[in-house]
Structures are given as C-alpha cells and as structure tokens.
Amino acid sequence: MSNTLTKADINITDLPEEYRELQAVVREFANEVVDPVSAKHDREHSFPYEVVAQMGELGLFGLPFPEEVGGMGGDYLSFGIALEELARVDQSVAITLEAGVGLGAMPIFHFGNDEQKATWLPDLTAGTRLAGFGLTEPGAGSDAGATRTSAIEDGGDWVLNGSKQFITNSGTDITSLVTVTAVTGEKDGRKEISAIIVPNDTPGFTVEPAYDKVGWNASDTHPLTLSDARVPQGNLLGEQGRGFANFLSILAEGRVAIAALATGAAQGCVDESVRYAKERTSMGRAISEYQAISFKIARMEARVHTSRLAWQAAAAKMVKGLDYRKDAYIAKLISSEAAMDNARDATQIHGGYGYMNEYRVARHYRDSKILEIGEGTSEVQLMLIARELGL
C-alpha cells in the first residue's frame, strides 16, 4: 500500500480507489476465510490462530504504520475499513486486530524510543506477535486515573505490583508483551502515572485464567497480576509521568477504530436480515413483503449509513492532522448503539432462528453489547461530547 494514502484528500462519500480495493480484498477474506470457522471458534471459545496468521500475511496488522517500521504505509481510514469488513462476519476476529494494532503496537509506535520500536514493532506489525494494553483495574475503569498498580525504582529496574483486568490479547501463545500503566510517584499532590512495557515471560507477571464472557468468545481476554515483577528501567514507555495522558490519546484513536468495527457489526445484521427476509415465507409470502419487516430493515440500514459517515469523518480528520476528538466520541457513541439496536432487530426478524448460536445474528446479539461499554462507555462518550461543547 502506498504512503500516498496518508496524504489523500479523503472524500467520505467517494473513497479513493486504493481504499475500495482494500475493502474488496478484506471482504473476500472475511467471507472465505473468517466466516467458515467463526461459529466453531465461538462455540469452542478458541482463539483463531490460523485466521490471525493469515491476517498477518495479508498485511492487516501493519495497515496504519509506515513502511520503515514494517507497516503497509496506510492510515486509520484504511485500518477502519478493514475492521468494518471483518466485524461484519466476526467481531472476535475484528477486535483481535483492533486491539493488536490500536492498543498493542500503537503505544510503542507513538511513544517508544528507537530501541523499543526496533525490538517490538517488526513482529507486531507483521502480526506474528501480539501485545496488550493494561489500563483497566478492578477499581479503575472509566476512572482510569484511580490506578493503583505501582512501579518502584530499584537497582536499575522497575518493580511492579498490582492487577489489571479485561485485557485483550494478553494471554495468547503469540503474545509478547503488555504495556501497563502504573503509579511511579507523586507530583504536586497527584499520582504520577507512567507506562511500562512488561514482557509476558517476566517473573512475577501472571496471566490469570481467561474470562467466561457473554460474547467475543474467540477473543483472548484475561485478568493480570503483577507481584514483584521486575523489568529494566529502559522499559519505561515515553516520558515518566506521561503514561496516563499518552494512553488517553491512544483511546481517542481507538474510539475511531471501535466505531468502524461497530459499523461493520451493524452492517452484518442488515445483510443477514435482507437475505433471510427474502427467503423466509409466512402465510404464503416472503416476510420481506410485509411492511413491518421491510421498515425495520430500512431503519437498520439508516443506522449503518449514519454510523459509517461518522467514523469515516473522524478518520478523515485524523488523517489530515485535524482535531478529531469530538468526532471520535460521537462516532463511537452512535455506532455502538447502532450495532446493539441492529442486533436486537435482526434477532427479532429471524424469530426462533435468531436465538440459535449457529446464526450470525445471534452471535452479533451477544457480541454487540460490549461495544457500548469497552473503550469508554456510552455515558463517558456523552460526558466527553458535553465537555467539548463547553458544558
């Protein structure tokens, strides 16, 4: 993919050819590679290593990174397009990519020094290794500033103690590290929160058993424990005391990606509902001929259209170097609600079949709720939007 994508004058109503070509490639991959094994991995709660490997070979983990660090020379719009196409058929696969790139590799790309980038990025952008983002704690979710995990300097090392929860991509066989936020001191009466790279083979760093989740069953998610986990001082990521601020910027980018993923989920519900409504008959007619069904699907399509415009507008601003934060908050809010609303409506349209896990809409129904919670709840997005308005 050409570096010119990062300079494109993006018109969200008419994407340049490079983006449309990427969309077609990922759509084919989603239909032919991801979809056939989606129900199996969901049922077995198994991580799709074979799918992830092929995503790496396709270059998806390197999409928004420059070629000099092993990337594909794309941007967040191209990344979002890929996420949308994957989420259409399998949200677990899409979130594995989103977290691997946005939460795993991006902090190192943005804030790492040359040595850290050289050590970790080649494998992360190739998709041969994954990384996690250790922000959330049992007592620090939406209020991530309440971090209690500590990191104390000792003999040229950081000694970390604490716990993290709901950490994606933290316990796979190909996970290489988790970047964690930790309190490294106090300044002006406030906690000094820094970010520190913790390799997965660090003594004292324990990946606890995986969660038993409602959805995203093929996504890897674990609580983590740090008990006198010792890493070199050189594992400090970015400036000491700037870890929380830096991670907030990562979350802003991630909200654009999650909005794209949610839009894909909402689109998948439309696709399945249109197909089913044309095939399913009731009282001698295809149910698509009943206005109650066709109007419900039309409203679902309107939600998708609005969500897509929102996330692509935010991504376009990001690519152009403009302030995109409010756009990201809005996109994340409306797209996550669209995914949940469409999943509910699609399940209703499918009737009893919509409650069977082998049907894609049933998996979307279970998967979509987390989109209104993760990467900042809907309430947090409303708070941030209000704040941008000066309220």
Cβ neighbours of 11 (radius 10 Å): 10
Same domain, 374 and 259: yes
Q: Catalytic site residue 375? A: yes
State which of 103, 130, 157 marks the end of a domain.
130
Whichever domain contains 66, its CATH number is: 1.10.540.10
> What phi and psi, each to the nearest 5 degrees, are found at residue 257?
-65, -45
DSSP character for 33?
Answer: I
pLDDT at res. 336? 98
The tens digit of pLDDT for each residue in 356-377 reads 998 999 999 999 999 999 989 9
Whichever domain contains 377, its CATH number is: 1.20.140.10
pLDDT at res. 143? 75
Same domain, 235 and 254: no
Same domain, 203 and 219: yes
Same domain, 93 and 31: yes
Same domain, 171 and 207: yes
- The predicted model scores a pTM of 0.93
Residues forming beta bridges with residue 164, ordered by sequence position = 224
Same domain, 197 and 150: yes
Q: Which structural domain range is residue 301 located in? A: 245-388
Pairing label, strands 236-237, 221-232: unpaired
Q: Which of 18, 239, 375, 388 is catalytic?
A: 375
Same domain, 138 and 235: yes
- Cβ pair 57, 29 in contact under 8 A: no
pLDDT at res. 144? 67
Query: What separation in angstroms does the CA of 292 have from each of 269, 289, 345, 348, 350?
Result: 17, 9, 11, 11, 13
Same domain, 295 and 349: yes
The stretches in the chain having pLDDT less than 70 are 1-13, 144
The Cα–Cα gap between 35 and 154 comes to 50
Same domain, 267 and 350: yes
Whichever domain contains 210, its CATH number is: 2.40.110.10
pLDDT at res. 62? 97
Same domain, 265 and 176: no
pLDDT at res. 151? 96
pLDDT at res. 139? 84
Same domain, 65 and 147: no
State which of 130, 152, 183 marks the end of a domain.
130
- What is the number of structural domains in the chain? 3
Same domain, 233 and 277: no
State which of 85, 107, 130 marks the end of a domain.
130
